[in-house]
Copies of this chain bind each other. A is one copy, B any other.
């Protein structure tokens, strides 16, 4: 941590324009509600002006349209949340773990670790794994043999990279005969993988996570998927095997994407939506069934099962009318 910085020093490093006292010093970031003196906060939208009025922060990051909502020392910029992310990185390390391999970690044969890589307590790294420089694996990550992680990759605890995907063929008696999973997982640079997320190794070819992908917690990526660069997926989502997701996509929490699909670049999928067909065009896609108080739900949902018959009745009425 660099200690305190003045707003002028911050703007010199990160751009933006200072309004008010450019010598105001801050040493940490905080939320509008709970920032203390010596901290800098940010305003996403003028809608939160009431909270801004009550903040105890010493400085604020905001956009031009909000500039006059406060007399606090402030930095005016195009994207307050992006600017805030960068300011916070000045005051806070990106990861909380020192470089090196923890004594309790288990490394296989021929593991290659880049400079400054950090392997946390209880991690298990299989034979022939490559982990790029500056990457941080938090405690209890497992990487199966042969997988490759790029540089500056962050993997949170409990994540599993390269376990066998779900591959079997049924024999004559309906028993499952395992298909050995002989591909690996290849992960690009600047990827972040959340806690307890699982990424299956490829069945024959590889599973690929491209640069800059952000996966939240408890995500399941099936074998032979490819997740395009800079795509972000929120928690509890699932992607079934052999699906390819484009670049710069945003997948909402608990979305499910079925197998063998193609999702174009810049597609946004809403939370809790199931995608069962390929998507060829950018845009937002949704499939959320509405919830209500239980009685209302029961009333309208009862009709869902009879929709085809309701449609038949409408057709009969239309025919009748034409006579």
Contact = CB atoms under 8 A, between A and B. Distances in A.
Interface string A137-171: 01110101100000000101110100111111111
A43 to B, nearest CB: 14
A245 interface: no
A94 to B, nearest CB: 6
B289 A139 contact: no
B294 A303 contact: no
Contact of A169 (B85, B171, B198): B85
A287 B276 contact: no
A3 interface: no
A283 interface: yes
A288 interface: yes
A299 interface: yes
A170 B230 CA distance: 9
A27 interface: no
A285 to B, nearest CB: 6
A47 interface: no
Given A85-B177, A96-B126, A291-B276, A163 B156 contact: yes
Contacts of A299: 308
Given A293-B285, A300-B307, A176 B232 contact: yes
A264 interface: no
Nearest to A274: B272
Interface string A252-265: 01101011000000
A16 interface: no
Nearest to A250: B170
A134 interface: no
A308 B303 contact: yes
Interface string A216-236: 111010100000001010111
A204 B283 contact: no
B232 A168 contact: yes
A158 B196 contact: yes
A241 B285 CA distance: 21
A174 to B, nearest CB: 5
Interface string A76-107: 00010110111011011110100000101010
A188 interface: no
Contacts of A69: none
Interface of A: 28-31, 33-35, 79, 81-82, 84-86, 88-89, 91-94, 96, 102, 104, 106, 120-122, 124, 126, 138-140, 142, 144-145, 154, 156-158, 160, 163-171, 174-180, 182, 190, 192, 194-196, 198, 200, 203-205, 212, 214, 216-218, 220, 222, 230, 232, 234-236, 238, 240, 248, 253-254, 256, 258-259, 269-276, 283-294, 296-308, 310-311, 313-314, 317-318, 320-321
